Structure 1
Amino acid sequence: MDAFYASVELLRYPELRGQPVVIGGGSRHQPEPGADGKLQFHKLRDYVGRGVVTTSTYEARALGVFSAMGMMKAAKLAPDAILLPTDFESYRHYSRLFKNAVAEIAPLIEDRGIDEIYIDLSEHTEEIRPLAQRIKDAVRAATGLSCSIGVAPNKLLAKICSELDKPDGVTLISAADIPTRIWPLAARKVNGIGPKAAEKLSALGLHTIGDLAAADPALLQDHFGRTYSEWLMRISHGQDERPVVTSSETKSISRESTFERDLHAKLDRDTLTPIFTDLCVRLAGDLQRKGYVGRTIGIKLKFADFRGVTRDLTLPDATDDAATIRQAAGECLRRVTLDRRLRLLGVRVTALSRKELSDSSPMLAQGELFGEE
Structure 2
Amino acid sequence: MPAVRRFIAHLDMDAFYASVELLRYPQLKGQPVVIGGGRRHQPVERDDGQQHFARLRDYVGRGVITTATYPARALGVHSGMGLMKAAALAPDAVLLPVDFDQYRAYSRRFKAAVAQIATLIEDRGIDEIYIDLTDIPGAQQTADGDELAGVRALAARLKAAVTEATGLTCSIGVTPNKLLSKLCSDLDKPDGLTVLMPDDIPSRIWPLPASRINGIGPKASAKLARLGIDTIGQLAQADQAWLIEQFGSNYGAWLHAAAHGRDERPVVTWRAPKSLSRETTFERDLHPRDDREALSPIFTRLCEQVAQDLLRKDYLGRTVGVKLRYDDFKIVTRSMTMPAPTRDATVIRQWAGRCLKTVPLDRRLRLLGVKMESLCKPDEAVLAQEPGVPYSLPLFEDL
- After TM superposition, the score normalised by the length of structure 1 is 0.96
1:337-356 equivalence runs, <5 A: 337-356=360-379
Segments of 5+ residues of structure 2 without an aligned counterpart are: 1-12, 139-149
Query: Deviation of residue 342 (structure 1)?
Result: 0.9
3-state SS, counterpart of residue 315 of structure 1: strand
1:176-215 equivalence runs, <5 A: 176-215=199-238
Separation in structure 2 between the aligned mates of residue 354 and residue 366 of structure 1, nearest angstrom: 30
Segments of 5+ residues of structure 1 without an aligned counterpart are: none
Residue of structure 1 aligned with 2:314, choices 267, 271, 291: 291
Structure 2 equivalent of residue 95 of structure 1: 107
Runs of 4+ in 1 over 6 A off after TM superposition: 357-363
Query: Deviation of residue 371 (structure 1)?
Result: 4.8
1:1-373 equivalence runs, <5 A: 1-126=13-138, 127-356=150-379, 364-372=390-398
Is residue 322–residue 364 contact of structure 1 (8 Å, CA) maintained in 2?
no
Query: Deviation of residue 5 (structure 1)?
Result: 0.4
The CA deviation string for residues 296-343 of structure 1, in whole angstroms up to 9 with x for no partner, is 111111111111111111111111111111111111111122111111
In structure 1, give the amino acid aligned to 2:62. R
Is residue 34–residue 40 contact of structure 1 (8 Å, CA) maintained in 2?
yes
3-state SS, counterpart of residue 168 of structure 2: coil
The CA deviation string for residues 50-75 of structure 1, in whole angstroms up to 9 with x for no partner, is 11110001101111101111111111
3-state SS, counterpart of residue 282 of structure 2: strand
Which moved further from structure 2: 145-154 or 225-234? Answer: 225-234
**Percentage identity across paired residues of the two chains:** 62
Is residue 266–residue 372 contact of structure 1 (8 Å, CA) maintained in 2?
no
Separation in structure 2 between the aligned mates of residue 74 and residue 208 of structure 1, nearest angstrom: 28
Separation in structure 2 between the aligned mates of residue 250 and residue 222 of structure 1, nearest angstrom: 34
Query: Deviation of residue 219 (structure 1)?
Result: 3.4
Separation in structure 2 between the aligned mates of residue 164 and residue 5 of structure 1, nearest angstrom: 20
Query: Deviation of residue 196 (structure 1)?
Result: 2.0
Which moved further from structure 2: 325-334 or 136-145? Answer: 325-334
In structure 2, give the amino acid aligned to 1:6. A
In structure 2, give the amino acid aligned to 1:33. E
Which moved further from structure 2: 118-127 or 145-154? Answer: 118-127
The CA deviation string for residues 153-192 of structure 1, in whole angstroms up to 9 with x for no partner, is 0001100011111110110000111111111111111001
Higher relative contact order (CA 8 A, sep 6+): 2
Separation in structure 2 between the aligned mates of residue 246 and residue 366 of structure 1, nearest angstrom: 42
TM-align CA RMSD: 1.6
Is residue 95–residue 115 contact of structure 1 (8 Å, CA) maintained in 2?
yes
- After TM superposition, the score normalised by the length of structure 2 is 0.90
In structure 1, give the amino acid aligned to 2:212. K
**Cα gap change, 1:319/1:209 in structure 2, threshold over 3 Å: closer, same or farther?**
same
**Cα gap change, 1:365/1:25 in structure 2, threshold over 3 Å: closer, same or farther?**
closer
Which moved further from structure 2: 327-336 or 234-243? Answer: 327-336
Is residue 339–residue 384 contact of structure 2 (8 Å, CA) maintained in 1?
no
Which moved further from structure 2: 356-365 or 192-201? Answer: 356-365
3-state SS, counterpart of residue 256 of structure 1: strand
3-state SS, counterpart of residue 116 of structure 2: helix
Is residue 76–residue 89 contact of structure 2 (8 Å, CA) maintained in 1?
yes
In structure 2, give the amino acid aligned to 1:291. D
